Amino acid sequence: MSNINISLNLNISSTSSQDIIPPILKFWLYLIFHIPSFFCTLFVLYHLLFDRTLRRSLNNHVIIVLLFTVLFCEVTNYPWMLYYYYHTTWQKPYVFCVVWGFIDWAVYMLQLLLFAWASIERHILIFHDQWVSTKRKRFWIHYFPLIFILLYWFIFYTFVYFYPTCQNQYDSTNMICMDACLFDIFSFRAFETFVNNIIPSLTIVISSVLLLLRVFRQKYRMCQQIQWRKHRKMTIQLLWIAVLYLLITSPWAIIIFLRLCGLPPNIGAGFENIAVFLSYYIVLLFPFVSLLSLPELYNKLKKICHRQPRQKRIKREPIPARNNQVTPL
């Protein structure tokens, strides 16, 4: 993420004087989560893709897309970060820096946009399931918004990082060594912040609270116990992930908003630094939260972990019966 004194292109230099967490400490704190998170991502993705029931559940489709973005980051962005924090110096070519900047920030924003839509769609799947009762309805209500978000995101950030109308700032000594120059334009920066960050965050908060209220209302209405059992899994799944997103993304969204409102860079620098550090855990923790929100997968994993090795059975040879007949003298 970038130095806020230069721009708000969330690629803050790891070598900044305001960095209160030593690079080697960041290396270990990310590494101890990265390895189990990678295997957890593979485990959850495998079962969501190859279990027919889970794969056909509409509520799991956004989760599958999000897990693919997580896997992509875990094999690109995080190994590069770990290498940088361990060596602290790394001369990188400009093209590599542009690609890294794109992955670091654009993919983070894609996850926020996708889950904001998931928090809205959950209301449709629970309370208006007739809207997705046919193939045509499912395309326009379920699949088209996903396609639209992916296309909007790809076109928007490809233009920002690869085809800007100005000259990007390049410093190979920083971790994220390229600052997108479009973020230096206040109007553009404000648009990107509100549309791609603030609004999705508020959408997650409002949709999650409303969903919880609507579900409790439905649960305690007469003759609605069966419906509550039917939709409980989708509700719990959304709330688990919503808590993760809000706890990790809210501090960073708040500091961005305050900077846009004129907060000087020297105020709240320590809080900002910690907020940026924590924002990278959204990827590392998402697979675990996804696993916990899917009881069938969580129980399957517990069975695998607690499975005891089979003991070899010792085949007993039958003991020949003794001849009790007395031999005549």
Instruction: List b or e across 99-121, with b for residues whose CB sees 16 or more CB atoms inside 10 angstroms.
Output: bbbbbbbbbbbbbbbbbbbbbbb
Segment 221-262, tens digit of pLDDT: 655 554 556 567 778 778 888 888 888 888 877 887 787 787
Neighbours of 258 (CB within 10 A): 15
Measured in Å, how far apart are the chain's first and last C-alpha atoms?
104
Q: What local confidence, expressed as pLDDT, does residue 224 receive?
A: 55
pLDDT at 326 over 70: no
CATH of domain 23-297: 1.20.1070.10
Distance CA 227, CA 249 (A): 32
Q: How confident is the model at residue 307 (pLDDT cuts 50, 70, 90)?
A: low
Average pLDDT over residues 8-31: 68
Average pLDDT over residues 39-48: 94
Distances, alpha carbon 115 to alpha carbons 190, 236, 287, in Å: 21, 14, 14
Segment 69-122, tens digit of pLDDT: 999 999 999 999 999 999 888 888 999 999 999 999 999 999 999 999 999 998
The backbone region for 88, taken as left when phi is positive above 0, alpha when psi lies in -120 to 50, beta otherwise, is left
Question: What are the domain boundaries of the chain?
Answer: 23-297
Q: What local confidence, expressed as pLDDT, does residue 128 receive?
A: 87
